[in-house]
Amino acid sequence: MSLSSRWIGALALALFAAGAPVEAQNRPQVATTTNGVPVGYNFGTSGVGFGVNPGAAALTAPLATTTPLANPYSLSTVPNYNPYLGTGSLGTSPYSMSTIPGSGYGGGGYGYPYPPYSSGNDGLGVGYAFMGSASMTRAAGEYQKDIQQARILREYSRQAAIETTRRRIEFEAWVESMRPTYAKVREREMAVELDQFRKDASDGDITSGKALNVLLRSIVSNGSTKLNRGPTVALEDDTLKHINLTGSSSKGNVGLLKEGAKLNWPEGLQDPSYDEPRKRLTRNLRQAVDYLKDREAVPESLIRDLRADYKTIHDKLNDSANELSTSQFIAARTFLNQVNGAINALSDPNVLKHFNNTWNAKGKNVAELVSNMNREGLTFNSATPGDEAAYRALYQALRQFENGLQGSR
């Protein structure tokens, strides 16, 4: 620093310390407070201008804030504006970027030019009222939205329950479709039986009529119009005479009655203790056949006598079972079953058809026999004693025809 600069600084300091008495005489009169303490130009936070308070008492006395004074030495052209005082009435420029009083730079309590909701330096008031109202509106909207979402979720739950019920019903229906029913089991058994009887059959299956009926059912399933496509298998009249037929709703078996009720009692039933009921039963059966040959129904009283004698012989056989060999007992029981079938046939309204050549086995070949039986709705009944050979012969004829019919198809 040069010498002249140091002298000038010292002079300014001296003038400042001395209070600058010369210039003080030419200054305008300053305002005073209520207690008369001069204010002057000071750097207080509530004063006006750039001067310095010359008195020590002025530093502790309240400064003039109610009547701003014009500072002739202010750097701004705006009266009473001191840019170094910060915020306040004397530190706010009328040329603020905001046209709202108190909202310019350094004013309004926000420090930026656009505080639209501010009500003062404390930040409270109308702005928070609007914010609270907005929060309530937003909360109400969120509540309504939650209610609607809950309704949507409940509807989804109901739809899911309906879909679950539908799938459960479909699953149960699928389980039922996969479960083997009696019809399906019987159909499978019939297919197995047919395959077996096409190859061979036991003597019991043949004489009982089971093997013959299985082959008959397979032939009929091809249709009556296709019977001529099978091979021609001739049948003897003597064979057909020993074949017993029955209707779908008929009961019993007329096999024992076709030869005039000529019964061949087995050894196990020829004991003298059976003589009286055995002879009476034989006589009554022949009398019943005579009624049928004359196209007359069998009297009910005659059928009751037949049933009574049959029961007497049946009970006596059971009581003497230990006195017979196994073969004798089986033969006696089989014959009694056939006698019971003949008695049941006599009480059938269709029994006359067996004696007027309507329900008799007839036909020159297998195709004609099957056609006649299908037209009358007849099936094969079991063989009676003496019919076994005819049943075996007819089985072979039916098997040959059925295999030939399958081959032509």
DSSP 185-241: HHHHHHHHHHHHHHH---HHHHHTTHHHHHHHHHHHTT-GGGGGGS---B--HHHHH
Contacts of 355 (CB under 8 A, 6+ apart): 292, 293, 295
CA separation, residue 366 to residues 79, 223, 236 (Å): 141, 14, 10
Other CB atoms within a 10 A radius of the CB of residue 353 amount to 18
Q: Mind listing the pLDDT tens digit for each residue in 236-263?
A: 999 999 999 998 777 888 888 887 778 8
The two tokens of residue 352 are 């006359």
Question: 101: pLDDT confidence band, cut at 50, 70 and 90?
Answer: very low
Does 161 score more than 90 pLDDT?
yes
Please give the residue that has the higher pLDDT: either 121 or 205: 205
Q: Which pLDDT value is given to residue 405? A: 84
Please tell me the total number of residues recorded for the chain in this structure: 409
Tell me what pLDDT residue 256 has: 86
Q: What is the pLDDT of residue 79?
A: 52
End-to-end CA distance of the chain: 136
pTM attached to this predicted model: 0.54
pLDDT of 119 above 60: no
pLDDT score of 124: 55
190-220 confidence digits (pLDDT tens): 889 899 999 889 999 999 999 999 999 999 9
Q: Which range among 96-105, 186-195, 240-249, 385-394 shows the weakest confidence by mean pLDDT? A: 96-105
3-state SS assignment for residue 380: strand
pLDDT in tens, 347-381: 888 888 888 888 889 999 999 999 999 988 999 99
User: Under a CB-based contact definition with an 8 Å cutoff, are residues 298 and 291 in contact?
Assistant: yes
pLDDT in tens, 3-54: 444 555 555 444 444 444 444 444 444 444 444 444 444 444 444 444 444 4
What are 302's two structure tokens? 């005659």
pLDDT score for 57: 42
The identity of residue 167, as a single letter, is R
- Mean pLDDT score of the chain, rounded to an integer? 76
